[in-house]
Every structure is written in C-alpha cells, then in structure tokens.
C-alpha cells in the first residue's frame, strides 16, 4: 500500500510540473490567475483521494452524489487529454525552434485548453448516457433450423455504482427487454460496491426477461465488491451464474461460462481463493456427441484467454472488460495488456489435438456502461449488443 501511495505521489508530481510548465506559465495572464489555475489542477489530480476522505465507499468508487462524480470526471478527463495535446504542442515548439520559426506559446496553450475542455465534456457525456443497441449477425456452423434468428442480448460491464444508479440500470433493462431477446448473457462486472451499498441500484436486473433466461459469470470487479454475497443475490434475481459450468439451450446450443481470474488471488477483502477459470471443468458435463453437433458460446469476462479457449472448439467467445479502450491512445495500451484484444470481432486460431485448425470468433464488447473511476469515452460508444444467430453453410 505504501508503495502505491509513493508511486502515486511521484506520478502526480511529474504530471503537475509538466502541466504548469507547458500549459499554465506560457499563458499571458496575471500571475495570481496562474497560481489559482495551478491549485485547481492540484485538487483535480488528487480528486479520488479527496472524495475518499469526504465520502464513504471505495477509493475509486466513492459514495458521492452523481453530479460530483460527473464533475470530477470532466476535470480529470481534461487533464488526461491536455497531457496528450501538450506533448504534441511541445513537439511542434521543438520543431519551430529547430527551424527558427516563430512560435506563439500563449496561443498554443489556449488552443490546448479549449480542445481539452471540449473533449472532456463530450467524453464524459458519452460515458454516462444510456447506451445504444448494436445489432450483430453471427453466422455459426451446426445451427439447428429452430435457432435461425435466435436473439442473444449481451450486457457486460454494467458497473452499477454511485455513478450508474438505479435509474440508469432500469433504463438498460427496459431497452434490453424491448428487444425481446431469446437469451441474455452478462459476462461480468455487474457492480462496484457491496450488497449493502449497491443492491438498490442493481435491483432492476431482476426485471430482465428472455425466453431462455439470463446467464452470467463473474468479472474482476465482483471480487472487489464481496462476490460471495453478490453471487447469492444475483442468483435470487434469476441470473444463473455459470462458474465453470455449461447449460444446453433448447437441446441445440451450449452456453459455457468461466469465472474471472481475479478470484484466484486473495485480497480485496477475501482470504480464500475462488475457483480459477477452468474450461475443461465447464464442459465436463456435456456429452462428447453433443459437443460435436451443437454450437458452443463461451462467456469469459476478459478476452485475454481467447487463444487457450479456442483450443476447446468454442464457436464464439463473448467478453468485455476493456471498455473498448475508452479513447485513442489509451486504447493501444489497453489492447497491449489484454493480449491484443480491445474491441469488436477477432478470429482466434487454435490447433486442436488432432492437429486440425479451428477458428473461434471472439467478440469484445466495449461494455454497456463505464467504471466510475474514469468515466470517459472518446470515439468509443458503450452498447447493448444484440446477436442474431444465422446458419453458416
Ligand atoms: Fe473488468
């Protein structure tokens, strides 16, 4: 913990110094305003720690009023975007210096501030609004004629929190039910906060309706939120949590689910490890002949294990976790730490035991909502995904 605070302190000091030197001091304004601007930046950079001191809840998920979290997010986004733009501005300044071209530092700083402000407001609005529906046709082998046009709604990364309150969750549920899905899949990150804190906000999930029910798996945030209790609550609301388990839908389609790997590592309030993801176990109860003749869809919260999962002849893996990368630049980093997967469709090739090749389709949803710690999306919409299954010849 001490290491975390020291790292955070050094990082904040570097960021603040750069913002002051590159953005504030070149401005042609009174020194008093510059000092006020610097103090405001200091408060913004430390906002998570300040909110934690004032309100209860977690470090990045304080129980602050929604407008406080949104306002804090706009300011935080301003800093992240400004850092990126200042870097470009300083490269331009260096080039001008090399080629002896006049550079107006005051104007450049004003342009950076203006653009960063516009994108921080837009990015926060994009992150907190109710998502649109994205329709996806999925062509699948061995699909029985009865399942042609079978509709599967995918909700992931709902992140009910002090940012995403009951009204938001209810709006997502109403929009999903209006699609009249045959099946609803929720592979993790339901909530940020304990059952006591967030039960009321997440409760509309019990109104989800689909002909073949609602299936879920855990995400990493469930383990930060007291998963043992959430498991019971989610099951009591009719969500069948698949923890290394499978179900057969309509005698024609296998849905498997593995828990998130965060449960393997004790911490965050639990001392006994939860089961690790184990696809062998998840498919153990399915007869080999059924596995050969029925399509298999897998829920795995993170996309990172896709190459291993593909070896099990999975037809489609659905994941989330990456939030689509949130914004250009950051998306590259998130893609790298998630083994190359960040958003949309991927073909994942695997060699099977008989040395034949198998291509598993992976769909990484940008998420239905956004984690309250950094709710910003730039050119990255959240979504409710609706898959329509189609027979592949
Ligand atoms: Fe996650």
- With a cut of 50, list the residues of the chain below it in pLDDT: none
In angstroms, what CA-CA distances link 203 with 16, 152, 188, 206? 41, 21, 16, 6
Q: What kind and span of H or E run contains 318?
A: strand 316-319
DSSP 8-state code for residue 249: E
76 CA to centre of ligand 1 in angstroms: 21
Model pLDDT, residue 7: 84
Distance (Å) from CA 367 to ligand 1 centroid:
9
Residue with tokens 């994009």: 126
Q: Are 200 and 166 in contact (CB under 8 A)?
A: yes
Chain position carrying tokens 């309030």: 269
Cα–Cα dist 54/50, whole Å: 6
CA of 138 from ligand 1 middle (Å) equals: 24
* pLDDT value, residue 308: 96
CA of 252 to the centre of ligand 1 (A): 30
Q: Where in the chain is the domain with CATH 3.60.21?
A: 132-391
Place of tokens 């998963």: 227
User: Does pTM top 0.85 for this prediction?
Assistant: yes
- pLDDT score, position 59: 59
Query: What are 315-351's pLDDT values in tens digits?
Result: 999 999 999 999 998 999 999 999 999 999 999 999 9
- Asked whether 318 and 155 are in contact (CB, 8 A), the reply is no
State which fold the 132-391 domain adopts. Purple Acid Phosphatase; chain A, domain 2 (3.60.21)
Using the mean position of ligand 1's atoms as its centre, give its distance from the Cα of residue 37 in Å: 35
Q: What is the structure's pLDDT at 382?
A: 96
Residue 282: predicted pLDDT: 96
**Comparing C-alpha atoms, which of 236, 243, 246 is closest to residue 261?**
243
Ligand 1: distance of its center to the CA of 354 in Å? 34
Give the pLDDT score at 117. Answer: 96
């Amino acid at each position: 913990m001490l290491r975390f605070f020291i790292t955070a302190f050094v990082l904040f000091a570097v960021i603040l110094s750069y913002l002051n030197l590159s953005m504030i001091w070149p401005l042609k304004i009174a020194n008093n305003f510059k000092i006020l601007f610097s103090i405001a930046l200091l408060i913004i950079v430390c906002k998570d720690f300040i909110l934690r001191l004032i309100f209860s809840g977690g470090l990045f998920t304080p129980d602050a009023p929604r407008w406080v979290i949104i306002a804090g997010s706009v300011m935080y986004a301003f800093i992240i975007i400004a850092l990126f733009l200042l870097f470009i501005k300083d490269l331009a300044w260096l080039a001008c210096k090399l080629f002896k071209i006049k550079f107006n530092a005051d104007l450049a700083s004003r342009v950076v501030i203006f653009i960063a402000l516009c994108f921080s407001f837009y990015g926060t609005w994009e992150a907190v609004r109710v998502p649109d529906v994205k329709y996806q046709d999925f062509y699948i082998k061995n699909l029985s004629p009865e399942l042609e046009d079978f509709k599967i709604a995918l909700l992931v990364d709902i992140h009910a929190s002090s940012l995403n309150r009951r009204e938001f969750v209810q709006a997502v549920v109403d929009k999903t039910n209006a699609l009249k899905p045959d099946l609803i899949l929720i592979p993790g990150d339901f909530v940020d906060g304990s059952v006591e804190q967030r039960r009321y906000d997440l409760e509309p999930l019990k109104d989800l309706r689909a002909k073949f029910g609602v299936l879920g798996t855990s995400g990493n945030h469930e383990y930060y939120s007291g998963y043992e209790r959430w498991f019971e609550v989610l099951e009591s609301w009719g969500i069948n949590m698949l923890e290394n388990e499978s179900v057969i839908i309509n005698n024609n389609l296998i849905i498997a689910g593995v828990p998130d790997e965060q449960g393997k590592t004790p911490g965050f309030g639990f001392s006994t490890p939860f089961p690790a993801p184990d696809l062998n176990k998840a498919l153990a109860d399915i007869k080999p002949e059924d596995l050969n003749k029925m399509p298999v869809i897998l829920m795995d919260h993170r996309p990172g294990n896709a190459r291993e999962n593909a070896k099990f002849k999975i037809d489609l893996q659905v994941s989330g976790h990456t939030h689509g990368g949130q914004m250009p630049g950051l998306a590259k980093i998130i893609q790298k730490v998630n083994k190359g997967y960040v958003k949309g469709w991927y073909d994942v090739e695997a060699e099977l035991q008989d040395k034949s090749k198998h291509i598993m389709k992976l769909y990484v949803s940008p998420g239905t909502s956004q984690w309250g710690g950094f709710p910003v999306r730039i050119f990255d919409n959240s979504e409710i995904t609706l898959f329509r299954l189609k027979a592949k010849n």
